[in-house]
Amino acid sequence: MASISSTTSFPFKIILGSSSPARREILADMGYEFIVMSADIDEKAIRKDKPDELVKALAEAKAEAIKLKLHDDCGPGSDQTTLLITSDQVMVSKGVIRERPRSAEEAREFIKGERFSFLVIVRYVMSERKRHLQGGIDNASSSFLLTGYSDDRAFAVNFVLVSNLSTGATKGGWDIPEIKFKNIPDEFIDRVVNQGEMTCVAGGLKLTHPSVLPFIIKELVGTADSVRGLPRELTEKLIRESLEAKAE
């Protein structure tokens, strides 16, 4: 399906509520002109147990924060229809939510994983959940990989929200590509972690960067733009629906 931007000139403007260079690049490649605003919210203050609920809550919080900054500039009665696009993404590996790492060491852990003995894990569970485990624990139990992408898979959980500020209509949806990884050598991990800018994204690794994609990705089930944080097809669909939707 051809995009709205390539087929028709619509009298609306777009605000991209994101400071992500990748999202800016993707939206520009879709043919849209837009301005950028940052929500400047404390994302760590918004917590949900399920990744799909977390990204939805964060995208909605970003939209609300930007609406407060705009006040009535783009609301009903304004001369031009205005759409606000906000989104969020987390990586999920082995059922664990991975947001943007807080340090180089955490980025390394996301990619490589950490090995812990079975005894250490049981002690952690006991301290966290305050419950007793039945049966003995073998101190000689082999260690196992608790986290990490190497020779495994992860999911990039995206939620995109398009808010029509002129009508109040909102449309949102999820897109979740699957990434299957090759074995990731230690020297590769050291190199990307030391670069810094390669790990400053959700999940701790810019998976579609040319220095990453061909070397460690075995298979991508989905699209590269979705892995980068703004799925084109979903975003185009939500823009269309938000323009067509009646006021809420």
- The pLDDT score that the predictor gives to residue 71 is 75
pLDDT tens track for 194-244? 887 777 888 888 887 777 777 788 999 999 999 999 999 999 999 999 999
- Report the largest interatomic distance among the alpha carbons of the chain, rounded to a whole angstrom: 72
| Both tokens assigned to 159 | 């939620």
Place 26 in a pLDDT band, splitting at 50, 70 and 90.
very high
Q: What is the pLDDT of residue 238?
A: 98
CB-CB contact of 27 with 47 (8 Å): no
The average confidence (pLDDT) of the chain is: 82
88, 138, 152, 175: the active-site residue:
88
Work out the average pLDDT over 178-202.
86
Q: What is the mean pLDDT of residues 114-118?
A: 51
Is 88 tagged catalytic? yes
Cα radius of gyration (the chain): 21
Tokens of 83: 């759409």
Cα separation values, 187 from 109, 184, 204, 232, Å = 14, 9, 16, 34
Is 137's pLDDT higher than 80? Answer: no
- Candidates 75, 11, 8, 63; CA nearest to 38 is 63
Q: Would you give the DSSP letter of residue 40?
A: -
Task: Report the C-alpha gap between 37 and 45 in whole angstroms.
Answer: 20
Residues 6+ apart with CB under 8 A from 44: none
Q: Which residue blocks in 9-85 are alpha helix, DSSP H?
A: 21-29, 51-70
How distant, in Å, are the alpha carbons of 38, 152, 198, 222 from that of 52?
A: 22, 21, 24, 17
Band of the pLDDT at 105, cuts 50, 70, 90? confident
Residue type for 72, please?
Answer: D
pTM value > 0.95: no
A 10 A CB-CB count for 115 gives 13
Task: Give the range among 76-85, 86-95, 143-152 with minimum mean pLDDT.
Answer: 143-152
